[in-house]
Structures are given as structure tokens and as C-alpha cells.
Structure 1
Amino acid sequence: MTKNYTEITQDQHQLGSAYRKASPDTMNAFLGLHKAAMAEGVVPKKYKEMMASAIAIAIRCDGCIASHIKAAVVAGASREELVEMINVAVLMGGGPAIIYGTQALAAVDEFLGK
């Protein structure tokens, strides 16, 4: 059961765009919150994306894993850093996080082109 995180990201983008048309106030408010929370600051964006990725693994959200792993890679996170992030997510999420952690590693490799 291999997932294609590039396709998941594309599908979620299309679904999000449709939702934004149906409910612009809600989606625009969420996007504003996302922009503010993920902006460069005292904590660099790379680390914020890694935190979001760890939470995505622990709560088992495929779309979140795809989005935040891709953003972490774009922000400069290395495979080694992302593997350590997955380790922390597994610690916090228990057994189900092992399943999603291994799938997140597949997303890391996909977005790094490995």
C-alpha cells in the first residue's frame, strides 16, 4: 500500500481550493493563521514544519504529512533531521505512529527525489 504524497498534496490543494470557493471566510481565516504560525521567526520555518510533521504523524493525517513534509524539505530539512523528527513522533504517538512514521519516511524520500 504505497501512497503517492505528491498526488495527495495535489488532491488536497484541489479540495482546499473548492472549499475556499464554498467558504471563503473560513478558509481565508485558516490560511491567514497558517501564514502567521509558519512565518520565519525566532524558530526557523524548517523547525516549525518539522513540528507540524511530527503532529501529523501522531494524529495520522495523510494530507498533513504530505503538506508539511514537503514544506520541511523545501525549507531545507535533511533526511537525517526528518528521520529524527519521525522518531520523536513515534515516541509521542505510539504504535499507530510507527505506521504513519514509516509512511512519512516514504514522503521524505519522495520529496527529496530518492
Structure 2
Amino acid sequence: MSSFDHQHLTRDINNALRPFRQSQSGTMQAFAQLAQASMAEGAISAKHKELIALAIGVTQRCSGCIGFHTKALQKLGATRLELEEMLGIAVYMGGGPALMYAAETLDAWDKLTAATLQA
């Protein structure tokens, strides 16, 4: 299980990238535009796109991706059951390592849910 919390991880990543956003503003603006265009509602809903993004994050073993996309899914109204079904597919496609990151994702979901309820 992860030894960190994803709420602080995502905050720390954003803070660490602040100088990079300034020194590489064109690159970061382009990345933000790519993200916005890719995740916009279309033939596939924004929620389903976030589920896909999180599945990729799990199979690529990206803890930061898990934090950012889990939080986005909660804002979009995803349910834990939707998350668990997606994680089942991620484990199927990614094997044992994906299973370890599925556990991390479930932990992130629970902690981010608790943080939201306390706010």
C-alpha cells in the first residue's frame, strides 16, 4: 500500500512544477490545451475519459496520475463501483504490478473521499 497520501502528493507536484511552468510556459500551456481538448465531453463522456486516463496511470505505475485522475473522477461524480470495474480491467491488462497500483488507487479514493467529507 502507498506510504503517502495523494492529496499532498498532487499539491507537491503542482508546487514543484511552478518554476517549470514559468521557464517552459509554452510547453506547459500546450500541455494544458492538450489535456483540456482530450478530456472535453464528446462521443465519450468526460467521466469515461477520466476512467481511461486513470487506467493508463495504474498500468504505467504513475502515483501522481492516480492522485490527479482519482480526484477528477470524484468531481465528475464517479462511483466506487465504476472505479473498481475499471481497476479490474487495468489489472487484467497490466497483471500483478497493476494490481499493486489498483490497491494504491483504492486507498487514494478512500482518503480523498474522507478529505472531501471533512472539508
**1:77-88 pair list within 5 angstroms:** 77-88=78-89
5+ unaligned residues in a row in structure 1: which ranges?
Answer: none
Letter in 2 for 1:66: G
Distance 2:5 2:59 in 1: 19
**Partner of residue 49, structure 1:** 50
The 2-side partners of 1:16 and 1:92 are apart by: 31
> What SS is found at the alignment partner of 1:113?
helix
Q: C-alpha offsets along residues 50-86 of structure 1, whole Å, 9 cap, x if unaligned?
A: 1000000000001111001110111110011101111
Give the Å deviation of 1:15: 2.0
User: Offset at 1:44?
Assistant: 1.1
**For 1:59 and 1:10, how far apart are their aligned partners in 2?**
21
Query: 5+ residue gaps in structure 2?
Result: none
Q: TM-score, normalised by structure 2?
A: 0.90
| RMSD across aligned positions (CA) | 1.3
Compute the TM-score of the two structures, normalised by the length of structure 1.
Answer: 0.94
Where do 1:13-52 residues align within 5 Å?
13-52=14-53
In structure 1, what residue type is equivalent to 2:23?
A: A
Instruction: Write the deviation string for residues 27-68 of structure 1: whole angstroms up to 9, x where unpaired.
Output: 111110000001112211111111000000000001111001
Paired residue total: 114
Dislocated runs of 4+, deviation >3 Å: none
Distance 2:79 2:89 in 1: 16
Matched ranges for 1:31-110 at <5 A: 31-110=32-111
Higher relative contact order (CA 8 A, sep 6+): 2
Secondary structure of 1:102's counterpart equals helix
Percent identity between the two aligned chains:
40
Amino acid at match of 1:44: S
